[in-house]
Amino acid sequence: MQSELWQERILFIGKYWVGSKCIRDLPDERRVSPVDKAYERFKNSLPDGVDLEKVRKKLMEQEIETPSWGYADSGTRFKVFHQPGAARTVFEKLEDAAMVHKMTGITTKVALHIPWDKVDDYQKVVDYARELGLTIGAINPNLFQDEEYKLGSVCHPDSAVRKKAIDHILECVEIMNITGSKVLSLWLADGTNYPGQDDFRERKRRLEDSLQVVYDALADDQRILIEYKFFEPAFYHTDLPDWGMATLIAKKLGPKAQTLVDLGHHPLGTNIEHIVAILIDEGKLGGFHFNSKKYADDDLTTGSINPYELFLIYHELVKGEEDCGDELDVAYMIDQSHNVKPKVAAMIQSVEQIQMAYAKALLVDRDALRSAQQSGDIVGAEMILRTAYDRDVTPLLASVREEMGVPVNPLEAYRNSGYGEKVAKERG
Ligand SMILES: [Mn+2]
């Protein structure tokens, strides 16, 4: 230990010393960077048996999809505050997404929303994305903005309105075909506002029939991810209010249909990690919409309110990855409306939160947890999770980022990059 410390000190100052005399500079490859030093200490703090190379590989393979709408001005129903430099076109949104990817190295995919990102020629979008090192992720139809959708879209009592909604989703499938997207991400605002307004069971059948048409239009390697939300904008009933009903429909449709969990779409106090575990077990967990909430569907930035919950969710996901291997195909997407935080910085901050939750979850001592569970050691089991959650994974992430060739501190690097100021000047 003594000699290790001594050697470390010598390597750090970057010189060979003989007694008090410096004989020559240390070659670059022998210098130990602060990142490596911190990583060494981190490594030494881990219990025996942790496969750190596997953890590093998993972190490098992590993929978080960012939403085009997270780069544009968006906000609550009260006021949309303009952010200087907020992206105005799908091309500017891609440029911002490319900046997030340049800083983090794990966000190649960008989700599009139609019609917010509607263009005449989607090939141009694909080409520009490729030029920026990006690909197109999920396509999100919009079934809540048109006048005709007052009573619903695919559940509307009038078959002509249902057809309009179905045609719009089919247009999105067409866009998937052009852009190479494999995921159709469906969220419905359908529901009723007052008792007696419509017939629940008829609406359920309209929903099933409409989605069947969409399902049949998907290629074998494309998926429809069905998102649920327990209320809002409808306040009496919502046609897809929870994971159970979304999964019921997904099961009826078939293997190309799965459930999408949006962290903000549950009643307060819902145990989301439990839902995640059950969906994994049923082979129906298709995707995530990351965000954070304090009260309802607040759309705050990921990890801002309850990072422990995010960690517990990732603990289930890591267990799922280990148990199911490639069978588990989850689209990890951010869906938040950070209307008061600067767009690109908030996105990088969110990606970092997700990375951190994943890193901590990868380091849970799962064998020890299993033993504690089997022997009924409740305190011990909880402490195993808490130990992993409390672990500072900054040195691990810094070291992984260094290997990936991205800034060791993405948010700081972005804030020092001048990008925000540059686009504010260019875009206004
Ligand atoms: Mn969502």
Question: Could you count the other beta carbons within 10 Å of the beta carbon of residue 211?
Answer: 22
Q: What is the mean pLDDT of residues 365-392?
A: 97
> How far apart (Å, rounded) are the C-alpha atoms in residues 72 and 411?
19
The pLDDT of residue 75 is above 90: no
Question: Could you count the other beta carbons within 10 Å of the beta carbon of residue 95?
Answer: 19
Expressed in angstroms and rounded, the spacing between residue 277 Cα and the centre of ligand 1 is 19
Q: What is the mean pLDDT of residues 360-389?
A: 98
| pLDDT number for residue 245 | 98
Strands 285-290 and 331-334: parallel
| pLDDT number for residue 4 | 53
Residues pairing with 140 in the sheet:
113
| pLDDT number for residue 417 | 98
User: In the structure, what pLDDT confidence band is assigned to residue 1 with cuts at 50, 70 and 90?
Assistant: very low
| pLDDT number for residue 16 | 46
Amino acid (1-letter code) at residue 223: R
Expressed in angstroms and rounded, the spacing between residue 198 Cα and the centre of ligand 1 is 25
Task: Encode pLDDT of 165-178 as tens digits.
Answer: 999 999 999 999 99
The pLDDT of residue 229 is above 60: yes
Domain ranges, ordered by start, for the chain: 2-52, 53-424
| pLDDT number for residue 80 | 85
Task: Encode pLDDT of 11-68 as tens digits.
Answer: 444 444 444 545 556 666 667 889 999 999 999 999 888 999 999 999 999 999 999 9
Expressed in angstroms and rounded, the spacing between residue 154 Cα and the centre of ligand 1 is 18
Give yes or no for a cis peptide into 307 (omega within 30° of 0): no
Q: What share of residues in the chain are helix, strand, coil (percent, to 5)?
A: 50, 15, 35
Q: Domain 53-424: which CATH class?
A: alpha beta
Classify residue 306 by burial, with Cβ atoms within 10 Å: 0-12, 13-18, 19+: middle
CA torsion, ordered 393, 399, 402, 408, to nearest 10 deg: 30
- Percent with pLDDT over 90 in the chain: 87
Q: At what angle do helices 307-324 and 272-281 cross, to 10 degrees?
A: 10
Classify residue 410 by burial, with Cβ atoms within 10 Å: 0-12, 13-18, 19+: buried
Expressed in angstroms and rounded, the spacing between residue 262 Cα and the centre of ligand 1 is 5
Expressed in angstroms and rounded, the spacing between residue 8 Cα and the centre of ligand 1 is 49
Expressed in angstroms and rounded, the spacing between residue 417 Cα and the centre of ligand 1 is 30
Contacts of 372 (CB under 8 A, 6+ apart): 378, 380, 381, 384
| pLDDT number for residue 49 | 85
| pLDDT number for residue 29 | 66
Expressed in angstroms and rounded, the spacing between residue 18 Cα and the centre of ligand 1 is 63
pTM to 2 decimal places: 0.92
